[in-house]
Amino acid sequence: MGDDNAADYGSYLFAKTWPVNPEGERLVTGPEITAGRAPEAPGEIALPHYLEGVELAPCGLSVQGADGASAIELGSTVTAQLGERTLRYLEDDSGLTAAGTSLRGTYFQDDTVEETFDADLGQVSGTVVGFYRSYGFSSTRALQGNSVYAYPSGDEVEDALADASDATCVYSILTTNDPQDALTIADELSADIDPQAGGVATHTSLLRWQGVTGSSEVWNTLYMIAGVLAVVIAVAGVSLVYNSFAISVAERTRQFGLLASLGASKRQLRRTVLTEALLLSAVGIPIGLVLGLIGCLAVFQLTGSGLAAMFDVDAYGIQVSVTVSPAVLGISAGVALATVLVSAWIPALRASRVSAVDAIRQTRDIHLTRRARRALARAGKSTADGGTVRLRGLSARLFGIPGFIAHRNLTRATSKGRVTVAALAVSVALLIISGVIGSVMDYASGTAIDAADGTDLQVRIDATTAEGSTGTIVREDGKVDNEALADALARLYDAADGLEGTVRAGYHASYVADTIVPASMVSDGSDHFFGTLLADGSWSGPIYVDFIDTASWESYVDGLGLSCEEFCDPARPQAIALNEYTLNEGGTYGYYSPLSGTGTVETVSFAPLEGMYVGGVVSDTNGQPSVWYNAPDGSERFVPLDEGITARKEIIVGALADTAPTGISTRSGTLHILLPVSAMAANETLGFADAQMNFDAGGSAETAANAQDALELVATDFPELDCTYTNYADTKMQNRMMSDTVQTFIYCFTVICGLIAVANVFNTLTNSLILRRREFAVLKSIGMGESAFRRMIAYECASYALRGFAIGLALAAIAAAFLTQAMTYSFTTFTLEPPIAEAAAAAGIVLAVIVVSAAYALRRSHAANVVEALRDDAI
Amino acid sequence: MNILSIEHLTKVYGSGDTAVRALDDVSFTVDAGEFIAIIGSSGSGKSTLLHLIGGVDRPTSGTVKLQGQDIFARTDEQLAIFRRREVGLVYQFYNLIPVLDVVENMTLPVLMDGRTVNEQRLQMLLRALKLTGREHYLPNQLSGGQQQRVAIGRALMNSPAVLLADEPTGNLDSKNSAEIMKLLRDSNRQLKQTLIVITHDEDIALMADRVIAIEDGRLVRDERRG
């Protein structure tokens, strides 16, 4: 690009062929076209967007305008000289051909490296048909921005392979028929290739997404969570069905005895139960399948667009649709049938084992535990010795006769109680687990999906690159004049007021500063976030200092519950440090809170040292903090702090915050310290990064686009500010849909679990109480009053509830352990808070259901009054 | 002396076309210490009558006065107290609480009243009912006759003013039946216990001081004997 152009447009451009997909394949996506169109025929060229309309000083890229003009426009003919760039290290004289280009000047030290360029690879020329911008994710060797893209003429591959230059190369993109084979094929290919000549790389992100890569942590997490979900729902469903059958068979023990006494064989009895189960299944299972399908359709109707966004299916022209798989229906029906049969078989077997007489007399209903038998025997002795009869046990003393009878019932009719306790335990566990899964999934989707709340249009403002900035915002020495910048930003923000359909959502200016964070502020376990700490436990390194506009700052301070008097005083600025960061480390995610408390952070400026780079403050070999300098040749120096640091400035951090104001991302591995914009002028030594202004267009991409047009017009009055616009509305909507989808699934799961749990408790308790209505009638007929009766039931239910809750808690703990294990595969810093709220909610729900079931059951046994219940004699 | 007076007692189950008049304007009085047998075919309304006298059910109209007091003027809670103090009920199917042992079942009405058990009376009853040594058996460990004796013990424990028995021997063999009836008869004679027994058994009816016959809910015969 020549020396005269290098400062603005970089020193070099790559020359590449425009990616052309084979017929019917979509292997590569071209860069985003910003003007014109993509090259479609040999002789057509696309150039980077920053060259549009540019008049270059004479260089290797020559331009011939359509009507003799020299600016690069659509229709211009350009010719680019191709050549080989060689770097030579002066010290050891080793030469290498550089394949890197740089947009902003060189990144080699002139005194150690010599650079030469030989224009010996011919030239590429053609008509400019379009300008493009690369996607953010494009890596250096892929479809990055600083390239001349020419439509392939067909000879390029041959030419590149034929010439002896190291600067030319050919990339082949392969797709495997089965993604599972990708890694093996890559290995085989690289074994065949001379490492000097080339290499093989796999698309790791794609393979992880496809579930191929072994270390696919997110998939492990998903599979494990799905596994826990399936197990939990299956166990709950089976227990519900089992309970219903166990109860319905137990209810008819007497009837079976009677049938047996009339000559029914055990086999006939078992068959009766099984036939009944089959008949019920024949009706119930199809109804269940239909309801399940309706539920699936409803859920996918709600989440279809979210799923489409999640898997980016639009890009592939696929549509999300619900397919009814006969196999899945078959499996569901099979599992349901097996559950019903097993649930019917076990109680039927038990019922058929009871002798006819026992069944009629219901002797088997009372199973004494060993303890109860011993207690009875002891009681026998004491009365034989002439002891008096009185109520025994704590329950009787505390709750009188109702407690006494309830206690007897709980200790002497344990098998009935066990069913109830088991049902309660499963329900409690279900409710807690569904709550835990809800928060786990919430955490996962909240961590992995950035909803970018409140920002539809983001304007990134750079002052240092704008044409009109020198002398206004950027001083002669190249430093940013903070006061002038703050003033310009405030004026632009004012001018941007009232754009149609949008609300201004604040702005901030970001600076990068080298700092020392004292040991007292560094939290335990933050080393993963900070990296190496100094020997005394403090940390030094670059951080962001963000200056927030006054209105946003005030509402932020207010929202955090802090006093504006303390934090909004321009004379005595106090900073707020962000203390919750999400870090994506390859396939895994982590949450970090690197700070332990408030304190004073020092920003520092380092003394320059000839021929060396500043590496920051480190502990030297003696453990003393010192400034570390290094040189490309590997030499290094440690300089004491008082020599290496030329200026220090204190920033008082008055508070830590878990939430960031609009526009500041916590998805960062770098500490953010926030200050009001009024403190900008006092912080001249910091290095300006950029400023950002946010607009909320209510989520509409179109409104945001219109606002962008209007804003671009406004910005022409601010030549000192270089604005880049990003319309986030679509991305935001996509993210929101994804998170909504996840949430919908969570809610469905919670609702299903809740329903199963409630049905289970209701079913078990109601039946067990209704079965005892005769006993209740007897108690009433011999003079038990209504309130005593209610106390007795309450005591029994409370006992069931307590035991069910304890066991349920234990079950939930086991499931939660599996969930936590699943989560830590992907979310390294995930720790499960004890689900106290979930447990309390579960207790509340179960208690409410117990009360409702008991009330319902008692009402029903009341409806048949005492006389009728007593008359219920035989069967 | 008149202990119980039943006046115009009517009980209708259901309503409208399906209404069943189980008891139709029945009136009679009972003297203290009397032994009355109520006879009638099944469905005649005799059990309904017994349940009304026992305060287990409330009549559609009419009153039951025990010692001059209308028992149905009481609240449900007062009626429960009435049942455990003033009457003893014995059923054909014993109706013991399965999870309570012999002594617990027998003393239940006393315990429900929050009083301490009269140990002497309990031992006396256990002896009389031949349940000594079985104090801590559960109902399902006892024979039918023994279970019925426990039920009688429960009814007598509180020394109620009136003992009501609904076919107390209907479920028992003749030897057990005779024993149970002797027990009831003795308690009636020795303790001046008023006893009303529903029965199908001619022999039992013959033991009674008075026989009341009910047919279709109406009192059709009231015979004093001896």
Name the 3-class secondary structure at A741: helix
User: In this model, does residue A195 exceed pLDDT 70?
Assistant: yes
CB contact under 8 A, B112 and A366: no
Name the 3-class secondary structure at A213: coil
Q: Does B128 touch chain A (CB under 8 A)?
A: no
d(CA B64, CA B191): 23
d(CA A551, CA A676): 9
CB contact under 8 A, A782 and B109: yes
CB contact under 8 A, A405 and B97: yes
CB contact under 8 A, A783 and B104: no
One domain, residues A593 and A658: yes
To probe the interface with A, which of B79, B100, B112 has the most A CB atoms within 10 Å? Answer: B112
User: In this model, does residue A863 exceed pLDDT 60?
Assistant: no
Instruction: Sort out which chain A residues have CB atoms less than 8 A from B112's CB and list them.
Output: 401, 782-785, 788
One domain, residues A626 and A484: yes
Mean pLDDT of A669-681: 88
Residue A861 near residue A769, CB atoms below 8 Å: yes
Q: Has residue A830 been placed in a domain?
A: yes
Residue A72 near residue A64, CB atoms below 8 Å: no
Phi–psi pair at A190, nearest 5 degrees: -70, -25
Q: Does B207 touch chain A (CB under 8 A)?
A: no
Q: Has residue A492 been placed in a domain?
A: yes
d(CA A366, CA B147): 16
Nearest CA in chain B to A787: B77
d(CA A609, CA A619): 19
Tens of pLDDT, residues A411-465: 776 666 777 888 888 888 888 887 787 777 777 666 665 555 667 888 888 877 7
Q: Has residue A554 been placed in a domain?
A: yes
- Pairwise pLDDT comparison (B212 vs A212), residue with the higher score: B212
User: In this model, does residue A812 exceed pLDDT 90?
Assistant: no
To probe the interface with B, which of A358, A382, A411, A778 has the most B CB atoms within 10 Å? Answer: A778
Contacts by A117-121, CB closer than 8 A, 24 or more apart: A117/A83, A117/A84, A117/A85, A117/A86, A118/A83, A118/A84, A118/A86, A119/A60, A119/A81, A119/A82, A119/A83, A120/A83, A120/A84, A120/A165, A121/A82, A121/A83, A121/A84, A121/A163, A121/A165, A121/A167, A121/A168
At A246, the amino acid letter reads A
Tens of pLDDT, residues A766-808: 887 877 777 888 888 888 888 888 888 888 888 888 888 999 8
Q: Has residue A336 been placed in a domain?
A: no
> Distance, in angstroms, between A864 CA and closest chain B CA?
12
Nearest CA in chain A to B93: A873
Owning domain of residue A825: 413-452+728-875
**Does the CA dihedral B47-B49-B55-B61 come out positive or negative?**
positive
Tens of pLDDT, residues A747-771: 777 787 788 888 888 888 888 787 7
* Topology of domain B2-224, CATH: Rossmann fold (3.40.50)
> Distance, in angstroms, between B189 CA and closest chain A CA?
24
Q: For strand A636-640 and strand B20-31, is the pairing parallel, antiparallel, or unpaired?
A: unpaired
d(CA B26, CA B49): 9
> Distance, in angstroms, between B96 CA and closest chain A CA?
8
Structural domain spans, chain B: 2-224
Tens of pLDDT, residues A91-134: 666 666 555 554 444 455 666 777 788 888 888 999 999 998 76
One domain, residues A715 and A816: no
> Distance, in angstroms, between B90 CA and closest chain A CA?
10
Q: Has residue A88 been placed in a domain?
A: yes
One domain, residues A78 and A88: yes
One domain, residues A548 and A688: yes
Tens of pLDDT, residues A520-533: 999 887 777 887 88
Q: pTM score, two decimals? A: 0.59
Percent of chain A clearing pLDDT 90 (strictly above): 7
pLDDT score of A137: 44
Instruction: Sort out which chain A residues have CB atoms less than 8 A from B82's CB and list them.
Output: 783
The DSSP line for A698-729 is TT-HHHHHHHHHHHHHHHTT-TTSEEEEEE-H
Nearest CA in chain B to A409: B99
For A234, other C-beta atoms within 10 Å of its C-beta total 12
Name the interface residues of A facing B (CB cutoff 8 Å).
361-363, 365-366, 368, 376-377, 379-380, 383-384, 388-391, 400-401, 404-405, 408-409, 412-413, 774-775, 778-788, 865-867, 870-871, 873-874
**Minimal Cβ distance to A413: which of B92, B99, B154:** B99
d(CA B111, CA A411): 19
Q: Buried (b) or exposed (e) across A52-85, using 16+ Cβ within 10 A?
A: bebebeebbbebebeeeeeebbbebebebbbbbb
User: In this model, does residue A140 exceed pLDDT 50?
Assistant: no
Q: How many domains does chain A have?
A: 4
Q: For strand A32-36 and strand A599-606, is the pairing parallel, antiparallel, or unpaired?
A: unpaired
pLDDT score of A740: 72
Per-residue H/E/C for B162-219: EEEEECCCCCCCHHHHHHHHHHHHHHHHHCCCEEEEECCCHHHHHHCCEEEEEECCEE
Nearest CA in chain A to B87: A782
Q: Has residue A373 been placed in a domain?
A: no
Nearest CA in chain A to B103: A389
One domain, residues A545 and A613: yes
CB contact under 8 A, A873 and B92: yes
CB contact under 8 A, B80 and A778: no
Instruction: Sort out which chain A residues have CB atoms less than 8 A from B99's CB and list them.
Output: 366, 405, 408-409, 412-413
User: In this model, does residue A370 exceed pLDDT 90?
Assistant: no
Q: Has residue A440 been placed in a domain?
A: yes
Name the token pair of B95: 């109706």
Q: Between the ranges A333-337, A477-481, B90-94, where is the mean pLDDT highest?
A: A333-337
Residue B222 near residue B191, CB atoms below 8 Å: no
Name the 3-class secondary structure at A161: helix
Name the token pair of A650: 């204190």
Instruction: Sort out which chain B residues have CB atoms less than 8 A from A870's CB and list them.
Output: 56, 91, 95
CB contact under 8 A, B135 and A383: yes
One domain, residues A808 and A845: yes
Least confident stretch, A70-79, A130-139, A603-612, B153-162: A130-139
Instruction: Sort out which chain A residues have CB atoms less than 8 A from B109's CB and list them.
Output: 782-783
**Does the CA dihedral A285-A291-A295-A298 come out positive or negative?**
positive
Q: Does B54 touch chain A (CB under 8 A)?
A: yes
CB contact under 8 A, A783 and B83: yes
CB contact under 8 A, A366 and B138: yes
> Distance, in angstroms, between A788 CA and closest chain B CA?
9
Nearest CA in chain A to B142: A363
How many Cα atoms occupy the beta-carbon half-sphere of B124 within 13 Å?
12
What angle, 0 to 180 degrees and rounded to 10, lies between the N-to-C axes of helices B76-86 and B102-112?
Answer: 130
Instruction: Sort out which chain B residues have CB atoms less than 8 A from A368's CB and list them.
Output: 138
Instruction: Sort out which chain B residues have CB atoms less than 8 A from A409's CB and list them.
Output: 99
Mean pLDDT of A565-582: 85
Query: Of the residues A697, A727, A757, which one is the last residue of a structural domain?
Result: A727
Q: Does B82 touch chain A (CB under 8 A)?
A: yes
Tens of pLDDT, residues B95-133: 888 888 899 889 888 888 878 888 888 998 898 888 888
DSSP 8-state assignment for residue A626: E
If we measure between CA atoms, which residue out of A846, A854, A848 comes closest to residue A426?
A846
To probe the interface with B, which of A389, A771, A786, A872 has the most B CB atoms within 10 Å? Answer: A389
One domain, residues A100 and A148: yes
pLDDT score of A136: 47
Tens of pLDDT, residues A265-292: 777 778 888 888 888 889 989 998 998 8
Per-residue H/E/C for chain B: CEEEEEEEEEEEECCHHHCEEEEEEEEEEEECCCEEEEECCCCCCHHHHHHHHCCCCCCCEEEEEECCEEHHHCCHHHHHHHHHHHEEEECCCCCCCCCCCHHHHHHHHHHHCCCCCCHHHHHHHHHHCCCCCCCCCCHHHCCHHHHHHHHHHHHHCCCCCEEEEECCCCCCCHHHHHHHHHHHHHHHHHCCCEEEEECCCHHHHHHCCEEEEEECCEEEEEEECC
Mean pLDDT of A55-83: 85
**Minimal Cβ distance to A788: which of B112, B133, B135:** B112
**Minimal Cβ distance to B89: which of A380, A401, A782:** A782
To probe the interface with B, which of A399, A782, A866 has the most B CB atoms within 10 Å? Answer: A782
One domain, residues A494 and A643: yes
**Minimal Cβ distance to A785: which of B77, B108, B135:** B77
Q: Does B76 touch chain A (CB under 8 A)?
A: yes
Residue pairs spanning A and B at CB distance below 8 A: 116
Mean pLDDT of A35-57: 88
CB contact under 8 A, A781 and B77: no
d(CA A46, CA A149): 5
One domain, residues A134 and A114: yes
d(CA A334, CA A348): 21
ipTM of the shown complex: 0.79
Helix or strand run (H / E) with residue A377 = helix A370-384
Helix or strand run (H / E) with residue A689 = strand A687-696
> Distance, in angstroms, between A757 CA and closest chain B CA?
29
Residue B122 near residue B110, CB atoms below 8 Å: no
User: In this model, does residue A327 exceed pLDDT 80?
Assistant: yes
Q: Does B119 touch chain A (CB under 8 A)?
A: yes
Alpha helices in A385-536 (DSSP H): 394-412, 414-448, 482-495, 527-530
One domain, residues A18 and A136: yes
Tens of pLDDT, residues B188-220: 888 788 999 998 888 888 888 999 999 988 989
Tens of pLDDT, residues B133-189: 888 888 888 888 888 889 989 888 888 889 999 888 877 788 888 888 888 888 888
Q: Has residue A121 been placed in a domain?
A: yes
Tens of pLDDT, residues A1-11: 887 887 777 77
Q: For strand A84-89 and strand A61-64, is the pairing parallel, antiparallel, or unpaired?
A: unpaired
If we measure between CA atoms, which residue out of A612, A606, A616, A630 comes closest to residue A534?
A616
Mean pLDDT of A683-700: 81
Instruction: Sort out which chain A residues have CB atoms less than 8 A from B76's CB and list them.
Output: 785-786
Instruction: Sort out which chain A residues have CB atoms less than 8 A from B54's CB and list them.
Output: 781
Distances (CA, A) of A285 to A1, A231, A290, A334, B13: 74, 20, 9, 9, 41
Percent of chain A clearing pLDDT 70 (strictly above): 80
Nearest CA in chain B to A358: B140
Residue B180 near residue B172, CB atoms below 8 Å: yes
Q: Does B122 touch chain A (CB under 8 A)?
A: yes
